[in-house]
Chain A
Amino acid sequence: KQEVTQIPAALSVPEGENLVLNCSFTDSAIYNLQWFRQDPGKGLTSLLLIQSSQREQTSGRLNASLDKSSGRSTLYIAASQPGDSATYLCAVGYSTLTFGKGTMLLVSP
């Protein structure tokens, strides 16, 4: 059974810092890895999707990498802003997704 772990569970940084969120998974036979953002009481916003044949994806200040052999992915956020404050979820799977518990990020002005 696939298990997804996200570290750290919570992170607080001052505005402007670069930061890295980590995601690890136990079964490397995945098709997709997705990073999502979830604001309190809201649904999910897809940030980046990495297919198994890819190693990284970039969107603006976000960069996600995938290393299937080690079962790890990282989400890099450059020049963090208070508006980046949210919970970030990592999910892996084929036709169904298994989610980690998320990293709660707080960026203070």
Chain B
Amino acid sequence: GAVVSQHPSWVICKSGTSVKIECRSLDFQATTMFWYRQFPKQSLMLMATSNEGSKATYEQGVEKDKFLINHASLTLSTLTVTSAHPEDSSFYICSASGLADHSYEQYFGPGTRLTVT
């Protein structure tokens, strides 16, 4: 099956700093990538959808200036949490889909645990 990786798997940063999370599709071209956030004992909430070469589409309530998403190639998307605060601590998961098989199936990365101190 299709493989999606995320880096780093966990990160601790100080309040006010920025942190970048990478999402890569390893064996397929991802025309669309998705970023989700999951708080403890909660489900995944979609933050934004990004298509390669286009600006990301953010869900209602997600600050686009705080969560910068770049999808510069068909295999890489990045999420940068700017001026992080403790309330941004969460589990961030990306997924990727390609239209090669027309199924719109999303393949998920292993997630990144962000802790802001």
Chain A interface (Cβ < 8 Å from any Cβ of B): 31-32, 34, 36, 41-46, 49, 51, 89, 91, 94-102
Known: A41-B113, A42-B110. A95 touches B32 (CB 8 A): yes
Per the bound structure, the CA–CA distance linking A3 and B42 in Å amounts to 15
B108 — nearest CB in chain A belongs to which residue?
A44
| Contact assessment for B46 and A96 in the assembled complex, using a CB-CB cutoff below 8 Å | yes
B103 is an interface residue with CB less than 8 A from chain A: yes
Q: How many A-B residue pairs have CB under 8 A?
A: 51
- Give the dominant DSSP class at A's interface: strand
Complex interface residues of chain B between 81 and 117 (CB less than 8 A to chain A): 91, 93, 95, 97, 103-111, 113
Contact-size category for B: 20 to 34
Excluding A45-B108, A96-B46, A97-B34, 9 further A-B contacts by CB distance (< 8 Å) are A32-B104, A34-B105, A34-B106, A43-B6, A43-B110, A94-B104, A95-B49, A97-B106, A98-B46
Per the bound structure, the CA–CA distance linking A89 and B44 in Å amounts to 9
Per the bound structure, the CA–CA distance linking A18 and B42 in Å amounts to 26
Known: A89-B43, A99-B44. A49 touches B108 (CB 8 A): no
- Chain B residues with Cβ under 8 A from A101's Cβ? 42-43
Per the bound structure, the CA–CA distance linking A45 and B106 in Å amounts to 11
B99 — nearest CB in chain A belongs to which residue?
A95
Per the bound structure, the CA–CA distance linking A58 and B95 in Å amounts to 23
- Chain A residues with Cβ under 8 A from B44's Cβ? 44, 89, 91, 99
| Contact assessment for B104 and A100 in the assembled complex, using a CB-CB cutoff below 8 Å | no
Known: A95-B32, A96-B46, A101-B43. A32 touches B108 (CB 8 A): no
Q: List 25 A-B contacts (CB under 8 A).
A: A31-B104, A32-B104, A41-B113, A42-B111, A43-B93, A43-B108, A43-B109, A43-B110, A43-B111, A44-B44, A44-B108, A45-B108, A46-B108, A49-B105, A89-B43, A89-B44, A94-B104, A95-B104, A96-B34, A96-B49, A97-B95, A97-B106, A99-B44, A100-B43, A101-B43
